[in-house]
């Protein structure tokens, strides 16, 4: 199903010969960015969502486990919430990009985690 591209400026696509008609075509007009964002979209709405459940519920569960760990280790808890988990996981992926070898999945996962963080924050 084709979705209209939401952006108002179509000039960046002039170099491709003709303006793409759909959002999907516009995303694929920039191969690496489009691929990374499409992969992030697929994993957050598809496989991982099916495997682990809704992201907010899963990240709340992770926050509970992390807070339990902090309680046992440092004597305090309830510091981390679901949004923090998503942001910290994105930062983990960003840290992995500092390695010399390029691994696209780090960028895909970081984009996906930040999208999840945005969704969680928008529901607060």
Q: d(Cα 30, Cα 110) in Å, to the nearest integer?
A: 19
Residue 21's pLDDT band (cuts 50, 70, 90):
low
φ/ψ (deg, to 5) at 6 = -80, -15
Question: What average pLDDT does range 70-87 have in this prediction?
Answer: 89
Length of the chain: 124
pTM of the model: 0.70
Confidence (pLDDT) at 34: 85
With 70 as the cut, is the pLDDT of residue 104 above it? Answer: yes
Question: What average pLDDT does range 55-62 have in this prediction?
Answer: 93
Average pLDDT, the chain: 81
Residue 75's pLDDT band (cuts 50, 70, 90):
confident
Q: Of residues 61 and 50, which shows the higher confidence score?
A: 61
Question: What average pLDDT does range 44-54 have in this prediction?
Answer: 84
Cβ distance 64 to 80 under 8 Å? no
Confidence (pLDDT) at 76: 79
């Amino acid at each position: 199903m084709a979705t209209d591209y939401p952006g108002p400026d179509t000039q960046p696509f002039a170099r491709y010969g003709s303006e793409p008609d759909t959002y999907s075509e516009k995303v694929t007009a920039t191969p690496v960015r489009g691929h990374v964002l499409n992969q992030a979209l697929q994993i957050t709405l598809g496989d991982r969502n099916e495997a682990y459940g809704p992201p907010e519920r899963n990240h709340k569960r992770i926050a509970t486990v992390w807070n339990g760990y902090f309680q046992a280790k440092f004597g305090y808890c309830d510091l981390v919430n679901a949004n923090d988990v998503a942001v910290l996981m994105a930062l983990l992926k960003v840290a992995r990009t500092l390695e010399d070898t390029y691994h696209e999945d780090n960028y895909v996962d970081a984009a996906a985690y930040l999208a999840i963080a945005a969704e969680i924050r928008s529901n607060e």
